[in-house]
Chains A and B, each alone.
Chain A
């Protein structure tokens, strides 16, 4: 057989030159009269090895990386030999990959993301076929039994949310996928959409069948152009193959799906603000109740789920809820994809059952900082998540354990900083980000964040430090207690953790850099 060569078509791989590497491999193979089949797969999520090129001569896939354009000629000259300096051996044996529990991300980097055949050959649409045999209540019960909780950050049980929408009366109901993954340090949603878009589509169709919704929207952030392209292509192909439309696989059931683009507003990741935006308005947060499950998009019952929640659904319907619930601990069931980011030697996607420690993640998987300097702080759960110090690294990675130390697991993003970080600057940035991104509806968030920047500036200049620290603490409490949503209500988390765990950074003399 001819040699199959895999070069990822995924944002991080492309950002490091995978596009040029793919072009050059084709050209150089042709020049040598070597017959190859070039496959543009997704990424395996081992980002420090990107562009990660794989080859399969019929004996299994072997990996090479990171491949620069300058390496292509020698790779071909060696016939992708195991003695090439970039050879990493069989891909499935890479310890970083082997030690993970890839459930949601089982297909990541293995398949061509937009190939329907690849998707079907790897268990795709099996869950949907099972779902078409079940009643809506049976479907909701399966999701409840799996213990799946919302993966967007709030961890609300998905089955309960679906039950509410199923029970709500409405001529039209909607499934809305929150794909506004705005948290710094997170890219798991992007990987699903770029590398396995049919899985999300299948999850949304099943959600529609479960609650009686016939229209779905994926609210995608504008910052993800490749995810947009892959989703649009996958939706068109799924339609053509009868998975979407008025008669899903000749079942007489209907579901239509459309991607809607956001426009660079972080607040639209908040579900009510997202719904306003989908309706064509400013992304202003709504007061709850009414819950979106009762009065959501256009005032009608709406399931709003994160990409990862919906992406977990096909495997729950294919392998059974018990299989999914078999991973994890206590009330944190299933797996969570952690995203190792920032100043990390081996960054990327690590899907694990709940219950491992943060230290395993940072040291064993991450290999410490990229700079080689000591790790000083880690921010978990996005820009609204608390900073943690190395003393807290033995905390178990589950929702309850994080909550117990005043931190949030959120969407599983882990941003590592080395000892060159200035935590007063980071605290200031948290407030500044809130100034930029507040929707402006409530005063604690809109005005509080601006005052927060000013107070931290005074502290950094050494002006009336004690009085200003007291003021900052007071301001944080006001924002936490008085804000309408998590934007203002959680912005103080990183700020408070910064001055509590790293007080020395707030005590420099005025003018000292």
Chain B
């Protein structure tokens, strides 16, 4: 038993311990882990299962059901493109094709330099000023291929502040 725990970062233990008493604790725990680590490591699953007295299969089933949870470390930035109807009406399909070509990845993949993971999202609630893109906490409206290229440049360039 203890061997499995040995690879699990302390953060997982701390988060599980602090949240396991909540009713319906599994989603809050998974959010807590992904917020801290960027993903849900496989090693975390038996730890969670034991704390909540459910099976590892139950935990895995939940992680895999929800689009937001991921089992692998993403790139430095996660860029989400809205694919839903309101953004389609403003050119999201063309933007999507451009973004995949520019980054050289498909949805769910990470660029070779590990800088950007591209994901689809179905509605960011920014439907009157689409197409919309989300990077972390930030949502950007009226995205077009040229603005997307500038966004990618910004995300992949380390800026030196001179003043």
Contact = CB atoms under 8 A, between A and B. Distances in A.
A329 to B, nearest CB: 26
A282 B65 contact: yes
Contacts of B24: 260, 278-280, 298
A340 B86 CA distance: 10
Given A16-B141, A281-B26, A342 B90 contact: yes
A459 to B, nearest CB: 19
Interface stretch (A180-188, A355-363, A390-398): A180-188
A466 B85 CA distance: 28
Interface string B57-73: 01001100111110000
B163 to A, nearest CB: 14
A418 interface: yes
A182 B123 contact: yes
Contacts of B90: 342-343, 370
Which one of A222, A266, A279, A283 has the highest number of Cβ atoms from chain B below 10 Å of its Cβ? Answer: A222
B65 A265 contact: yes
B111 interface: no
A53 interface: no
A50 B88 contact: no
A342 B130 contact: yes
- Grouping DSSP codes into helix (H, G, I), strand (E, B) and loop, the A interface class, with mixed when no group exceeds half, is mixed
Contacts of B132: 15
B41 to A, nearest CB: 17
Contacts of A222: 31, 68
A184 B127 CA distance: 7
A339 interface: yes
Contact of B127 (A50, A282, A347): A347
B14 to A, nearest CB: 19
Instruction: Please tell me the size bucket of the interface on B.
Output: 35 or more
A261 interface: yes
A265 B141 contact: no
A344 to B, nearest CB: 7
A265 B127 contact: no
A402 interface: no
Which one of B61, B69, B128, B134 has the highest number of Cβ atoms from chain A below 10 Å of its Cβ? Answer: B128
A15 B129 contact: yes
Given A265-B65, A343-B90, A15 B122 contact: no
Interface string A403-447: 000000000010111100100011001000100110000000000
Contacts of B26: 280-281
Contacts of B108: none
Contact of A342 (B89, B93, B125, B137): B89
A282 B85 contact: no
Contact of B89 (A225, A298, A339, A416): A416
B26 to A, nearest CB: 3
A272 interface: no
Contact of A418 (B25, B31, B89, B121): B89
Contact of B128 (A182, A226, A281, A348): A348
B123 A263 contact: no
Nearest to B139: A15
B84 A184 contact: yes
B85 A264 contact: no
A80 interface: no
Nearest to B58: A281
A149 interface: no
A119 to B, nearest CB: 22
A303 to B, nearest CB: 17
B126 A265 contact: no
13 contacts: A11-B126, A14-B139, A16-B129, A16-B141, A184-B123, A185-B127, A186-B127, A187-B126, A223-B124, A223-B125, A263-B30, A264-B68, A278-B27
Q: Which 3 A-B pairs have the closest CB atoms?
A: A347-B128, A280-B26, A184-B84
Interface of B: 23-28, 30-31, 52, 58, 61-62, 65-69, 84-90, 93, 121-130, 132, 134, 137-142
Given A184-B127, A282-B62, 13 more contacts: A11-B126, A15-B140, A15-B141, A48-B128, A184-B122, A185-B84, A223-B134, A263-B69, A264-B67, A264-B121, A266-B122, A281-B26, A298-B23
